[in-house]
Structure 1
Amino acid sequence: MLVSEGDPEAKYTELETIGRGGFGTVCMAVETATGEEVAIKKISLLEESNSEVCLNEIQIMRGNKNANLVTFVDSYLVDEELWLVMEYMDGGSLHDVIRETHMAEGEIAAVSRECLQGLDFLHSKQVIHRDIKSHNILLGLDGSVKLADFGLAAQLTAEQSKRSSAVGTTHWMAPEIFTGKPYGPKVDIWSFGIVGIEMVEGAPPYLMNTSRTVQQLISTRGTPKLQKPRQQSAWLRDFLCCCLETDEDRRWSAQELLQHPFVTSAKPTSSLTPLIMATQQFMADRRY
């Protein structure tokens, strides 16, 4: 059974909407009996493509539990919606932090280590995430960093050890996806390299360009360049180069990147807490 019996509206008390997307809404709720906070993603099943994404997300999350992946709690069918209950990450998304603050290299290294641990785990299970971007990296006020949103993830098998469908978000997609080549888990490493540039510069490369133009720029220019490379350490620049190698075979794996000096020099995740709290304060100030 992919969904549980019972009435989630009786089990959970909704508090506020925390996100909206093409799929539906995400709200923050508490389990009435325990007071535990959860996030509930409500996905409309009226669109067939949504149904596939939902089933995929449930199967991937159920089968892969790790400290650096958002934890799946339960799922329910409510009228024409699928409700996906997950742990609530009280620090928001990395995208919020990037938009509101400036990240120091030590903070970038800490986030990189945690994300790479999550990717190393997924890749060891032959799962490709296929939509790594700052919006899909969630944070806790304790400094925890977790990968989220597994709707586009792909489970590789012995029979199908590569994929070739063009899925993901254009600005973060690897060159081999644009050229239609069969690809493996290292597309996630390219995407994370783009997240690295986001953390340094506040946005992915070519943000103001159309999807078609971005495809042409990545295909012809190859590895995107930092705008002010001299302001970054040699270790950070080299780390990004190892992620953003256009040749998939030469691109480093998550396991290899975890041994990179930039990553091994990272501070404990608790160092991220002040950054996350500052982000929330800025967002709250703007709201009022």
Structure 2
Amino acid sequence: MSSEVSNPTGFKKVLHVEWDAKAGAFRGLPKEWAAALPKGTYKEVDSSSKSLAPHLRAPAAKDKKRKESIFGAWRRSQAPMEKSGQNDKAVISLPYNVVHEMHVRPDSTTATGFSGLPIAWEEAMKGSGISPQEVKANPQAALDALQFAMEGPPPKKSQAPLPSRRTVNMKMGEALFFNKDVTDPRTCFKEFHQLGQGASGIVYSAIDDRKGTERYGQRVALKYCDLKELDELKTEIAMQSMSNHPNVVNFLEAFLTERHCVICLEFMDGGMLTNLCDTKRRICDESQIAYVIKCSLQALSFMHRQHRIHRDIKSDNILVDFSGRVKLADFGFATALTRSTMKRQSVVGTPFWMAPELIKSQSYDCKVDIWSLGITAIEMAQGEPPLMHEPVMRALFLITVNEAPKLNDRSSWSESFNHFLSKMLVKDPASRSSADQLLLHPFLQDTAKPQAFGNLVKAKLGRGGK
């Protein structure tokens, strides 16, 4: 009685593909895969080569016929065939779901302190200002900074439950409104003056010339943005319009033209807080710094209670005016936390003001805004944020490995101010104070009056808004 061997089931053909550093090419790729790669990056494997590991060598000639007898019939019946009449030739598809993994490791013998870096990353590392000695001492922090620089463009206490993503989307949809009656703002606004230009667009001040409207004769700010960014702009408009607070720049309306999305905002005649930051002389005293930070914290407290994060707090995005008002602006990076995303991971913001956990691509929450505002307080006191003169990648590295920043000359500032900063600039976000906690700090109990601060703005900036 003869026994029969059944056809195999659940059969998988495992390919061993490896990178040959000496040859500068892949070894072991099927020809169909190799054809999809640039020329010179594939090298055929010599099946008789003794350099291959035993389990990778081709079967001996005496075994070849036997293997064919066992698997031949099944392969011919199961494998897809080419249409050219070669009915016994199996077709190997092109690869899919390919993941390119890099094997990078510390290496003190190289100029960068790493081996295995892609060429572009290696060149960036060489110009980063991070020495091999620093890499050796803090390899993960250096790699985090490098990865952030190359790939970057990532609440525990609240008074309301986290909303669902559906609820957030519904509220954003309700808040989004375009005035379709205006297709070109130049027809109903006059006296345009350019205030600034950035990556997100150009900002002008202009006078509303629409008679019979509540803003007739008032100066407003018009932000012209590329229509290609409309999806992101819709989020910015919705986030800002939902943040109706005395310390947030008011969203008024928005228009769509053939080329631009134009966002109409409340006009702040003093411009950016940056104009009050000077490295050569101290413009703001402690009471004025305390006033600005208190106003900013009031806005953040409101936002954070609604589970929203600004994510780009810095002096450029805090506006002031001649009456002493202080308001947060530019909600281009703002986002909302939901029950499904209690923390965020996307990396956004401006490097020198970024919190350590954001640079390291860790999960983060509203506390990133607190760190950034603490850096802004130092900026007001010293004229610029810490590490401003370092290359960006080195600054990112140092933010994660250095101790939390402090004032350069702590003795020239009050103990209360120094302590206040120490509660904001805590590297562990869980130990960092919240906006509500900071508003109770003694440093904010004796701030400048709005009129006094407005007089300072007017004296230093003059016609800053025009």
TM-score interval for Structure 1 and Structure 2 normalised by the shorter chain: over 0.9
1:12 to 172, 180, 189: 189
Tell me the secondary structure at the aligned position of residue 6 of structure 1.
coil
Provide the secondary structure at the position in 1 that maps to 2:181: coil
For residues 239-278 of structure 1, the C-alpha deviation after alignment (integer angstroms, 9 at most, x for no partner) is 1111101110110000000000001221222221122012
Q: 1:10 Cα shift?
A: 2.6
Kindly indicate whether residue 344 of structure 2 is the aligned counterpart of residue 167 of structure 1: no
CA contact (8 A) 2:269 2:464 kept: no
What letter corresponds to residue 158 of structure 1 in structure 2?
R
Corresponding residue of 1:261: 442
Cα distance in 1 for residues equivalent to 2:180 and 2:227? 18
Deviations 1:99-145 (A, max 9, x none): 38611001001111100000000101111000000000000110000
> Over the residues paired in the alignment, what is the CA RMSD in angstroms?
1.6
Corresponding letter in the other structure for 1:92: G
Kindly indicate whether the alpha-carbon contact (under 8 Å) linking 2:282 and 2:381 is maintained by their aligned counterparts in 1.
no
CA distance in 2 between partners of 1:20 and 1:101 (Å): 27
Residues 141 and 276, structure 1, Cα contact 8 Å, conserved in 2: yes
Other-structure match for 1:78: 257
Structure 2 stretches of 5 or more lacking a match?
A: 1-175
What is the TM-score when the length of structure 1 is the normalising length? 0.94
- Residue 43 of structure 1 is matched in structure 2 by 225
Q: Secondary structure at the match of 2:394?
A: helix
Write out aligned runs for 1:104-253 (5 A): 104-253=285-434
SS in 2 for 1:235: helix
Task: State how far apart, in whole Å, the 2-side matches of 1:146 and 1:205 are.
Answer: 23
1:23 pairs with 2:200: yes
Per-residue CA distance 1:14-49 (angstroms, 9 max, x = gap): 421111112221000111121011000000123xxx
Whether contact under 8 Å (1:97, 1:275) holds in the other structure is no
Q: Is the 8 A contact 1:136 1:148 kept in 2?
A: yes
- 2:426 partner letter: E
Report the equivalent of 1:3: 178
- Quote the Cα distance in structure 1 between the aligned partners of 2:259 and 2:404: 44
Decide whether aligned partners of structure 1 residues 277 and 210 sit closer, same or farther in structure 2, where only a CA change above 3 A counts: same
Asked if the contact 2:356/2:427 (under 8 Å) is kept, the reply is: yes
CA distance in 1: counterparts of 2:359 and 2:457, whole angstroms: 34
Give the letter for the 2:201 counterpart.
G
Q: Name whichever structure is richer in helix by fraction.
A: 1
Q: What whole-Å deviation, never above 9, does each CA across 1:200-223 have from its counterpart, x for those lacking one?
A: 100000001122111111111130
Q: Which amino acid aligns with 2:180?
A: E
Relative to structure 1, is the Cα distance of residues 144 and 282 closer, same or farther in structure 2, using a 3 angstrom cutoff?
closer
> Are 1:271 and 2:452 counterparts?
yes
More contact order relative to length (CA 8 Å, sep ≥ 6): 1
Structure 1 residues 101 and 277: alpha-carbon distance in aligned structure 2, compared to 1, 3 A threshold:
farther
In 2 relative to 1, CA 42–282 (structure 1 residues): closer, same or farther, beyond 3 Å?
closer
Structure possessing the higher radius of gyration over alpha carbons: 2
- For residues 158 and 273 of structure 1, the distance between their equivalents in structure 2, rounded to whole angstroms, comes to 41
SS of equivalent to 1:160: coil
1:282 to 1:55, Cα distance in 2 relative to 1, 3 A: closer
The question of whether the paired residues in 2 share the 8 Å contact of 1:14 and 1:27 is answered with: no
Structure-2 residue corresponding to 1:280: 461
Report the CA distance shift for 1:101/1:234 in structure 2 as closer, same or farther (over 3 A): closer
How far apart, CA to CA, are the structure 2 residues paired with 1:79 and 1:59?
21
- Quick check: 97-106 or 175-184, which moved more? 97-106
CA distance in 2, matches of 1:218, 1:12: 45
CA distance in 2, matches of 1:2, 1:207: 39
The one-letter code of the counterpart of 1:23 is S
Q: Give, in angstroms, the shift of residue 230 of structure 1.
A: 0.6
Deviates more, 1:121-130 or 1:16-25: 16-25
Partners of 1:17 and 1:27 within 8 A in 2: yes
Q: How many percent of aligned residue pairs carry the same amino acid?
A: 36
Distance in 1 separating the partners of 2:199 and 2:282: 27
SS at match of 2:262: strand
Q: Secondary structure at the match of 2:380?
A: helix
Among 220, 239, 264, which residue is 1:60 paired with? Answer: 239
Alignment partners' CA distance in 1, 2:335 and 2:356: 18
